[in-house]
Amino acid sequence: MVVTKTKSYTLIKPTQISVAEFFTEYKERYNEFEGEHIIIDFLDNINIGIKEIFLFLKLSEQHRKNGTSFVLICNGISIDDLPDELNVVPTFDEALDILEMDAIERDLGF
């Protein structure tokens, strides 16, 4: 995985062949990212399906409880098929928009 940290978020791009391999490494390294706003970009290397996205549900919920954002970037996924606890968007710009909206919601106490 390639990790790029900025002052606002941490961008993670998988280099693994499968979502399962990436998920295993992510969980092993989770302490490095805890407390940070996370964007995971699946656009370049891995095709991800709905079943695989659900692997990230508990991590997303944990980030929300900790007051941080967790966003997945994937193509071809209908957000209607996903729970509200998962932020899945098709582009990096939309991921940044989600981070901003989450920050506004936290500021307003939601």
The CATH number of the domain holding residue 42 is 3.30.750.24
The pLDDT of residue 23 is 92
What confidence score (pLDDT) does residue 74 get?
A: 92
pTM over 0.85: yes
Count of domains in the chain?
A: 1
- What residues make up the domain containing 11? 2-108
* pLDDT tens column, 42-90: 988 777 888 899 999 998 998 888 889 999 999 888 888 898 889 999 9
With 80 as the cut, is the pLDDT of residue 26 above it? Answer: yes
Q: By the 8 A CB rule, do 9 and 33 touch?
A: no
- Using a 10 angstrom Cβ sphere, with 0-12 exposed, 13-18 middle and 19 or more buried, the burial of residue 55 is middle
* C-alpha–C-alpha distance, residues 91 and 89, integer Å: 6
Structure tokens at 80: 């209607």
Instruction: List all residues 6 or more positions away from 82 whose beta carbon is below 8 Å from its beta carbon.
Output: 50, 53, 88
Q: Give the pair of three-digit tokens for residue 93.
A: 């710009």
